[in-house]
Amino acid sequence: MLSSRVQELSRNLYSPAMRYFLAAAEAGSIRAASRNLNVASSAVNRQILWLEEALGLQLFDRVGRRIRLSQAGELLLAHIKRTYSDFEGTVAELDALKGLRRGTVSIASVESVAEKLLPSVISSFRRSYPGIHVNVSISSSQEAARKVEAAEADVGFTFDPPETSALTIAFHHDLVIGALMTPDHPLADASSLNLQECLKYPVALPAEGLSLRTRIDLVRGHIPGASRTYVEANSLRLMRALAREEKVIGFQTMIGCEDDLASGYLIFKPLSDAPLQADRLCVVTSSLRALALAPGMFFDHAVLALRDHLPSLDAK
């Protein structure tokens, strides 16, 4: 069975007559070949008749609705299989020459992206390029940006990266920060919610240095008596666990908490405070050096995946 890539290339490099003959020979009927090729039976039959006329030989013996290879057909089929086999090997060599099947991608990511979104992106990428080594480091937003700037990572997934000429924000998407709580929390039925209302209850705050904390503090600093907390942590996973087990309120975007929301353990209430409306998820690369082939392919793949995934979060 030819790989999808080889099949695609062969459509452009080999005549329809040869491909239709191969499909008919393997399927044992014109109708089955037409279904496999997604073309009309008449088109398949026409191309085979043209090939027989060009060669001056009958390639199939017709037995009812079935077809059986003639001696000439057996010889032609063997030739086509050898040709395609050689072609598949050549394509593999060309891919290796281009770096499509080897190389290394170094990724720096924040924890929330690494929970569910990044594994999905990496898995789909490696299905296409299993020979490419992927190296991932998890850190804060600031550290992820620093790693890209310092050439310790090729691609960074971060929130609100610093404005510097050494970084290129190649993709961004604004996400609202919300309050995470159990469905039986006193604020769970609130039609709208702001940070001041949340701070009347025990909360788990992101640690200082996290982009979430920076935005929360922009609002928190203007709330009288807003000092009541439960815990501060630099792990969003820990804060979600506390929200589930201790009934406190946690804060983050919907990135990373998909499983808790889908299972119904937690609910997400968007916060109405203006500074919490646009926590900017960014994919960053270095502006001082060009991406090598493997990192460049991963970056393109990641951006397409994010463009498909993120609008569905907005819709929720």
Same domain, 224 and 305: no
Same domain, 20 and 37: yes
CATH number, domain with residue 74: 1.10.10.10
Number of separate domains in the chain: 3
Same domain, 213 and 295: no
To the question of pTM greater than 0.75 for the whole model, the response is no
pLDDT above 90: percentage of residues in the chain? 45
Asked whether residue 278 carries a pLDDT value surpassing 60, the answer given is yes
Same domain, 216 and 267: yes
Same domain, 187 and 268: yes
Asked whether residue 146 carries a pLDDT value surpassing 50, the answer given is yes
Same domain, 287 and 162: yes
Q: pLDDT tens digits for 96-139?
A: 666 667 788 999 999 999 998 999 999 999 988 888 899 999 99
CATH number, domain with residue 160: 3.40.190.10
Same domain, 181 and 263: yes
Same domain, 260 and 133: no
Q: pLDDT tens digits for 149-202?
A: 988 999 999 999 988 888 999 889 999 999 999 999 999 999 899 999 999 999
Same domain, 49 and 186: no
Residues contacting residue 262 through CB under 8 Å, at least 6 positions apart = none
Q: How many other β-carbons are positioned within 10 Å of the β-carbon of residue 28?
A: 16
Return the residue matching tokens 């082939």: 293
Same domain, 35 and 89: yes
Same domain, 222 and 130: no
The confidence band for 313, taking pLDDT boundaries of 50, 70 and 90, is: low
> Which residue range forms the structural domain that includes residue 193?
177-277
